[in-house]
Amino acid sequence: MNFKDTLVASLVPIFLGFGFVIAKPAFESFPPILLMGLRFIFAASILIWWFPIPKGFLKKIFIASFIANTLQYSITYTGLNFIDASAAVLLVQTEVPFGVIFAFFMLKEKPTLRAFIGIGIAFIGVYILTGSPNLDGKIFGITLTILGSAIWALGQVIVKPLSKEINPLALVAWLALFSGPTLILISAVIEGDTISYLSTAKFNHWLIAFYIGFIMQPVTYGCFYYVLKNNPLYKVLPIVTMGIPPTGLLAAIFLLGEKPTSELFIGGGVVIFGVIMILYKKKEEINL
């Protein structure tokens, strides 16, 4: 990966880690699925006008948007609603081992022996992490967060071929256009009382919604798909994923006042060590 792509990729965890954490206070006004619907509607509203309809790709974009956006974000952020942000930001690191697994089966990208061991270590870290007192009795939130990570990884495998055919920001725009209204509809059915949530939301929570929709979504995924277009997934993920835990943890501690436990730090450290083993490989390593 060249210097320019590395620099662009480094912006992703900064905006994403911060945005992931500050979304949690907004749940006081907006339930998770509704907040994600607003996120994508806002993103689409400023981007869609700049790009023509990607004829011939609409069906693929819709499928990708349903998996990578609609399904994944509704599950992940619902999970975040039930657990501390500091724990969630570490649990979502399982996106990497899941990504390797899906890439192997769907893109025929063979993992190295080291990566295979790293997957095992990462999930051992998840087991340790879930023993944290902060997560006691919160298996539902833990399960949703990990499931969301798996769906995110699947979504990126599906999106990757599209990123080579469509302008990165155009892809962000059309994925958002399809997923935003769908999420709002799902929220109305599952979470209910949509109009009431919107009319009574606090001003600072609207600011959070504006940030994740108008700034975080276009910047992070525009950068991500731009870099993904020209580089293998295993080269992009180290920069993106390794920057999220420190950004997210610092935001959770200083902005939300959370106090991560020793189990969380130990388990999170083991997860990150496993992720590093997966992502950083030498040329001479043997593929499985």
For residue 125, the enclosing domain spans 3-279
Q: Is residue 21 in a domain?
A: yes
| pTM higher than the cut 0.75 | yes
287 φ, ψ to 5°? -75, 150
- Percent over 90 (pLDDT), the chain: 32
pLDDT at 198: 94
pLDDT at 2: 77
pLDDT at 134: 77
287 in helix, strand or coil?
strand
Give the mean pLDDT of 214-233. 79
Q: Angle formed by the axes of helices 139-163 and 168-190, to 10°?
A: 150
Q: Does residue 282 carry a pLDDT above 60?
A: no
Query: Read out DSSP for 84-141?
Result: -HHHHHHHGGGHHHHHHHHHHHHS--PPBHHHHHHHHHHHHHHHHHTTSGGGTT-HHH
CA distance 164 to 51: 16
pLDDT in tens, 51-106: 888 888 899 999 999 998 999 999 999 999 999 988 888 888 888 788 888 877 87
Q: Is residue 285 in a domain?
A: no
pLDDT in tens, 157-214: 888 788 778 887 888 889 999 999 999 999 999 998 899 999 999 999 999 999 999 8
pLDDT at 151: 92
pLDDT at 180: 94
Query: Read out DSSP for 148-178?
Result: HHHHHHHHHHHHHHHHTTS-HHHHHHHHHHH
Whether the CB-CB separation of 122 and 93 falls below 8 Å is answered with yes
Whether the CB-CB separation of 95 and 151 falls below 8 Å is answered with no
pLDDT at 226: 81
Q: Does residue 238 carry a pLDDT above 70?
A: no
Q: Is residue 12 in a domain?
A: yes
241: which 2 tokens?
């994923």
Q: Is residue 7 in a domain?
A: yes
pLDDT at 234: 63
Whether the CB-CB separation of 30 and 38 falls below 8 Å is answered with yes
108: which 2 tokens?
């025929």
Q: Is residue 287 in a domain?
A: no
pLDDT in tens, 104-156: 787 777 777 888 888 888 888 888 888 878 788 889 999 999 999 899 888 88
Q: Is residue 231 in a domain?
A: yes
Mean pLDDT of the chain: 85
220: which 2 tokens?
């992070």
CA distance 64 to 159: 6
Q: Is residue 288 in a domain?
A: no
Band (pLDDT 50/70/90 cuts) for residue 45 is very high
Q: Does residue 284 carry a pLDDT above 70?
A: no
Band (pLDDT 50/70/90 cuts) for residue 280 is low
In terms of pLDDT, which residue wins out, 180 or 287?
Answer: 180
Structural domains in the chain (count)? 1
pLDDT at 288: 45
CA distance 227 to 7: 10
pLDDT in tens, 3-23: 787 888 888 888 888 888 899
Q: Is residue 169 in a domain?
A: yes
